[in-house]
Amino acid sequence: MLYLHRQGFIHRDLKPENIIFETKDLHSKIKVIDFGTSCAYEKGNKLKKKLGTPYYIAPEVLKRNYDEKCDVWSSGVIMYILLCGYPPFNGPNDKTIFQKVLEGKFAFPEEDWSSISKHAKEMITRMLAYDPAKRISVQESLQHPWFKANTVAVKNSNKNNVLNNLKSFRADTKLQKAVILYIISFFDLKEEKDELLKTFKELDLDHDGQLTHDELMIGYSKLMGEDAAKKEVDRIFLTIDVNGTGAIDFTEFCLATVNHKKLLSRERLTQVFKMFDTDGSGTISRDEIKNFFSMNEGSDDSFAQELIEEVDKNGDGEISFTEFKEMMEKLFTNKL
């Protein structure tokens, strides 16, 4: 939720049904799904549309005057249910539930909550503060003593290797980056991404799903002097912060730290090339570049042309498979 809010989005329908396990493994990652009611928002603005599920909806949403704190309320309700098995605002029908939500009064019955810590109850109470201005934010929730006490520290012996891969990453062309990001996003790389995620979490000190300049500085200062670390981190951000947010998200992190030689097998490169080459001509044209990146028909051709010129060695205005393969293989041959 912290990552989502920092990107300027509100979910608006958080509930247990929208939190899923990635696999059946005991230590599976969880994912938030169903963004059908989510929306972009600007800090300070209030939303008016009444959306959500009765048990989890915040009172200010029912009043049609709310912001991102509605997600905190829903998260507090989820936490309450996980700890005792029933919702804090209950009733035989939606009308009764909405009325109880609007009243905002809830309790911790002794028979069900006697074994629950005071920190857990205090955190729920702060998440379910009726006045959104007095309700804690997602960031404050992550800093709460209960959350800190129940967060398992990730220890990863591979951290230095990953940081060295990040440091040595060089991309000669924009198309190289685009192809790797596509493979990372749409191909099954679960095993390798799981390992990289351990290091990412260890570096992500505030748990917001992004690595800031300061967080990377802490990681690299342990490997080299502070001056050298700053120079290296500055270069990494210029190379890897593809979307220009001022922070590195996990996909961008994978871009530089994934095993490129393993990632870019001939079979996988052939598969991606065919996704570009929609007419089966054996070359990638400017229009096929535009189609692949979903550029509008009337949009400026300069970006697509630039990508082609970076790779087109024989100057025929198109990219052959040989040119494509050689471009991608430079990512790992340059490291040798």
Burial of 92 (0-12, 13-18, 19+ CB in 10 A): exposed
- Distance linking the first and last C-alpha atoms of the chain: 40
User: Could you give the CA distance from residue 119 to residue 109 in angstroms, rounded to a whole number?
Assistant: 16
C-beta neighbour count of 162 within 10 angstroms: 22
13, 67, 204, 208: the catalytic one is 13
Task: Give the strand pairing for 30-32 and 19-21.
Answer: antiparallel
13 catalytic residue (yes or no): yes
Q: CA 207: distance to chain centroid? A: 11
C-beta neighbour count of 18 within 10 angstroms: 19
| 8 Å CB contact between 15 and 73 | no
Q: For tokens 């963004």, name the residue.
A: 35
User: Could you give the CA distance from residue 112 to residue 91 in angstroms, rounded to a whole number?
Assistant: 18
C-beta neighbour count of 76 within 10 angstroms: 25
- Give the chain's radius of gyration (CA, Å): 24
Q: Which residues carry out catalysis?
A: 13
